[in-house]
């Protein structure tokens, strides 16, 4: 009897023995090329090959709109050596909907499961996977590698695609990939940002998770169109010189019945013990990083986004929750590691492996850790004992800075250290300075409303804050809406308040951010040595009485020097003598109190200060400046 097309003869396997070996060993760099649904020609017949990992299932079938969701129509054949099941279905092509029907080890039928390696998915609330063409490999780019380098100017615009801009006249709908490419990319380019960072675009069932509880880790969300549309979006961003980073979530996944939870009737992707496998904070499941196939699934996914969609890098979410077994847990609610400690050794090994694979296979890409603890070496190479990330979010800087700027100026003298402390550890890691979506949700208000004083002072404080941020060592990240001083807290179900740009103060903040990005790009002193102590020099760190800070940023080449002065009280300070590192003329390049930004236009006359041979602040030469109120001023040296 001739076997059906869905059950090839025993000597006619669909997945090769080599692939099985690499998958079982956990060294298959691109498991997505083998598992999932792929175009395939079998015995001269075109169709789709399906393969899924379900080692403990008693029986598996592929069901879909091509067989009326009938679990008896296309049973899959087991490949026990790797715990895989495979099937070929003739005539099935891109666009077909499918799931897997599985029986658990006891023969009980499980809820239909979406494909863990599915390349596309239905729009929620539907939950089927969709057959899609594997995107072509995106070639490496020397231009992108230069743009992602540690000494490059990096200013990141963080975006939640569903609420950046909507179409209220069309039922408040989202923009699709083509519209986002036509509107978001030119806007970010005009604003001078170097990169977009997108909140997770992996398919997720609940809008309110913002993408941080994904189920389809290999599927760009269908909210904005098909998967190919996302690939085109990234390509169009690159064509305009804009990089694309993705928020990526390997820490946990939701427990929805159609997802990874107890995929084959057992704790397959997650830990069986809830003390290891359940996140109390988020009501989600934790990946079993000690399992070979799970690590392979995640490492392959990281490489997939970089190679197949061409994204520039991954910002890894919730790294702190991965590093520690007792994260947000009380005594007795967690299981120590094999040495009796609290570190999650398996998660640490996974993160190192992921960064090593990316470094070897996609060296132009960058990885960023959202890590909020004092774990050592997050952004150090693995060969030096680190985790291998390129950058770590500087959460300490963010918290201290917002705490300081949120204080009434009269009280700031008592908290001067909140701005100076960051330089104590500024070079312990390679940092990104983040004002992210997390700072404008959950009752925190907006950055603007967190500033003290009347309306004018709130805007002046915000402008001074941004000036200080762009001058401080570290790459920059700003969440959408913050660039024009959105007044209300972010709402993921509504568009940003673009109408505020009709107000001169909001428009002034936007102009300032655009100019800050321009200055950052054009002056190596502000970026070339972001991660090197030689790039920073304090001039005045101790004047708590006047809340004045002054420092110099240095580029690699002689003469690349920028003096930055912050006056964080609402008082104009005239004839302010400040020591400088070299004689010459210091030209004002940016003043956050400029009338163009909504300020009072105070400042040093003509915007130029010549040095005098008068010692001050331990330097042989000094300048006399006028310090505007609640301001940050940039002055560039010229001989």
Model pLDDT for residues 231-261, shown as the tens digit of each residue = 999 999 999 999 999 999 999 999 999 999 9
Q: Which residues of 272-310 are buried (b: 16+ CB within 10 A; e: fewer)?
A: eeeebbbbeebebbbbbbebebbbbbbbbbbbbbbbbbb
pLDDT bucket at 13, cuts 50 / 70 / 90: confident
Q: Domain residues of the chain, as ranges?
A: 17-130, 153-249+287-526, 533-638
Angle at 302 between CA 301 and CA 303, to 5 degrees: 90
| CATH number of the 533-638 domain | 2.60.40.1180
pLDDT score of 392 more than 50: yes
pLDDT tens digit string along 119-144?
A: 999 999 999 999 999 999 999 889 98
The stretch 145-154 carries a mean pLDDT of: 94
What dihedral do alpha carbons 571, 572, 575, 577 form, nearest 10°? 60
**What is the signed CA dihedral for 328, 390, 444, 486, rounded to 10 degrees?**
-160
Distances (CA, A) of 344 to 249, 330, 341, 380, 392: 17, 16, 8, 18, 19
User: Do 634 and 604 meet the contact criterion of CB atoms below 8 Å apart?
Assistant: no
Q: Does domain 17-130 have CATH number 3.90.245.10?
A: no
pLDDT value, residue 639: 85
- The architecture (CATH level 2) of 153-249+287-526 comes to Alpha-Beta Barrel (3.20)
User: 317 with 249: CB under 8 angstroms?
Assistant: yes
220 DSSP assignment: E
pLDDT for 317-375, tens place per residue? 999 999 999 999 999 999 999 999 999 999 999 999 999 999 999 999 999 999 999 99
pLDDT (tens digit, 9 = 90+) per residue, 580-632? 999 999 999 999 999 999 999 999 999 999 999 999 999 999 999 999 999 99
Q: What percentage of the chain carries pLDDT values higher than 70? A: 98
- Token match 């004992």: residue? 385
- pLDDT confidence of residue 358: 97
Global confidence as pTM: 0.95
- DSSP helix/strand/coil, 419: helix
HSE-CB at 527 with a 13 A cutoff on CA atoms is 24
Mean pLDDT of the chain: 95
Whether the predicted pLDDT of 416 surpasses 50: yes
Instruction: Check the CA dihedral 372-373-379-382 and report its sign.
Output: negative
Residue range 498-513, pLDDT digits in tens: 999 999 999 999 999 9
In 3D space, the residue among 414, 383, 420, 425 whose CA is nearest the CA of residue 400 turns out to be 420
Reported confidence tier of residue 8, pLDDT bands at 50, 70, 90? very low
Q: How far apart are CA 608 and CA 136, in angstroms?
A: 54
Say if strands 243-248 and 573-580 run parallel, antiparallel, or are unpaired.
unpaired
* Predicted local distance difference test score (pLDDT) of residue 115: 98
State the pLDDT at residue 7: 42
Give DSSP secondary structure letters for 600-615.
Answer: ----SGGGEEE-BS--
Give residue 5's pLDDT. Answer: 42
* pLDDT at residue 480 is higher than 50: yes
> What is the structure's pLDDT at 171?
81
Tokens 């895989």 belong to which residue? 84
List all residues 6 or more positions away from 574 whose beta carbon is below 8 Å from its beta carbon.
626, 627
Q: Name every residue whose Cβ is closer than 8 Å to that of residue 484 and which is 6 or more positions away in sequence.
A: 500, 501, 506, 507, 509, 510, 513
Domains 17-130 and 153-249+287-526 are alike in CATH topology: no
- Residues tagged active-site: 317, 370
Is residue 440 pLDDT above 60, yes or no?
yes
pLDDT at 2: 33
Per-residue pLDDT tens over the stretch 159-195: 999 999 998 888 889 999 999 999 999 999 999 999 9
Query: Is the CA virtual torsion 241, 301, 158, 555 positive or negative?
Result: negative
* Tens of pLDDT, residues 24-79: 999 999 999 999 999 999 889 999 999 999 999 999 999 999 999 999 999 999 99
Distance CA 104, CA 256 (A): 17
Average pLDDT, integer, range 304-316: 97
Specify the pLDDT at position 10. Answer: 41
The 10s digit of each residue's pLDDT in 510-523 is: 999 999 999 999 99
């Amino acid at each position: 009897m001739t076997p059906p097309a869905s059950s090839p003869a025993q000597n006619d396997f669909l997945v090769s023995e080599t692939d099985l070996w690499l998958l079982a060993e956990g060294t298959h760099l691109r498991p997505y090329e083998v598992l999932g649904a792929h175009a395939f020609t079998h015995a001269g017949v075109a169709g789709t090959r399906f393969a899924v990992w379900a080692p403990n299932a008693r029986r598996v079938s592929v069901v879909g709109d091509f067989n009326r969701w009938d679990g008896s129509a296309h049973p899959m054949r087991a490949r026990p050596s790797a715990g895989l099941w495979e099937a070929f279905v003739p005539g099935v092509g891109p666009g077909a909907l499918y799931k897997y029907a599985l029986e658990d080890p006891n023969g009980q039928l499980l809820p239909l499961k979406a494909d863990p390696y599915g390349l596309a998915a239905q729009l929620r609330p539907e939950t089927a996977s969709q057959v899609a063409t594997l995107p072509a490999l995106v070639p490496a780019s020397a231009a992108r590698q230069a743009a992602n380098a540690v000494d490059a100017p990096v200013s990141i615009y963080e975006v939640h695609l569903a609420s950046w801009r909507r179409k209220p006249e069309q039922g408040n709908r989202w923009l699709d990939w083509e519209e986002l490419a036509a509107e978001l990319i030119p806007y970010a380019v005009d604003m001078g940002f170097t990169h977009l960072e997108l909140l997770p675009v992996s398919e997720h069932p609940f809008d309110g998770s913002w993408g941080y509880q994904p189920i389809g880790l290999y599927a760009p969300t269908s909210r904005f169109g098909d998967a190919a549309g996302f690939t085109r979006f990234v390509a169009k961003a690159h064509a305009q010189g804009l990089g694309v980073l993705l928020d990526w979530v390997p820490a946990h996944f939701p427990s929805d019945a159609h997802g990874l939870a107890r995929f084959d009737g057992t704790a397959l992707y997650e830990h069986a013990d809830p003390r290891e496998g359940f996140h109390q904070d988020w009501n989600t499941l934790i990946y079993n990083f000690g399992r070979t196939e799970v690590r392979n699934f995640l490492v392959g996914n990281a490489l997939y986004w970089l190679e197949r969609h061409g994204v520039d890098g991954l910002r890894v979410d919730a790294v702190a929750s991965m590093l520690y077994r007792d994260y947000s847990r009380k005594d007795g609610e967690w299981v120590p590691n094999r040495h009796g400690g609290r570190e999650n050794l398996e998660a640490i090994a996974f993160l190192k492996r992921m960064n090593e694979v990316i470094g070897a296979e996609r060296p132009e890409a960058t990885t960023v850790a959202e890590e909020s603890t004092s774990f050592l070496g997050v952004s150090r190479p693995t060969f030096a004992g680190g985790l291998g990330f390129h950058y770590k979010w500087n959460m300490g800087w963010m918290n201290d800075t917002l705490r300081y700027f949120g204080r009434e100026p009269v009280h700031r003298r008592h908290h001067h250290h909140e701005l100076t402390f960051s330089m104590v550890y500024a070079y312990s890691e390679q940092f990104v300075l983040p004002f992210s979506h997390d700072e404008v949700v959950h009752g925190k208000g907006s950055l603007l409303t967190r500033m003290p004083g009347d309306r004018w002072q709130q805007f002046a404080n915000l402008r001074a804050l941004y000036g200080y941020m762009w001058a401080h060592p570290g790459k920059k990240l700003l969440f959408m809406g913050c660039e024009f001083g959105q007044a209300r807290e972010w709402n993921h179900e509504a568009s940003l308040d673009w109408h505020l740009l009709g107000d001169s103060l909001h428009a002034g903040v936007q102009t300032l951010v655009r100019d800050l990005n321009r200055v950052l790009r054009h002056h190596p002193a502000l970026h070339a040595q972001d991660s090197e102590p030689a790039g920073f020099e304090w001039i005045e760190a101790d004047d708590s009485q006047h809340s004045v800070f002054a420092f110099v940023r240095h580029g690699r080449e002689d003469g690349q020097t920028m003096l930055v002065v912050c006056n964080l009280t609402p008082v104009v300070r005239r004839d302010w003598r400040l020591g400088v590192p070299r004689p010459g003329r210091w030209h004002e390049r940016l003043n956050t109190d400029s009338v163009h930004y909504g300020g009072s236009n105070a400042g040093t006359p003509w915007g130029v200060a010549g040095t005098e041979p008068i010692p001050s602040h331990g330097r042989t030469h000094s300048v006399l400046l006028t310090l505007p109120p609640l301001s940050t001023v940039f002055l560039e040296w010229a001989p």
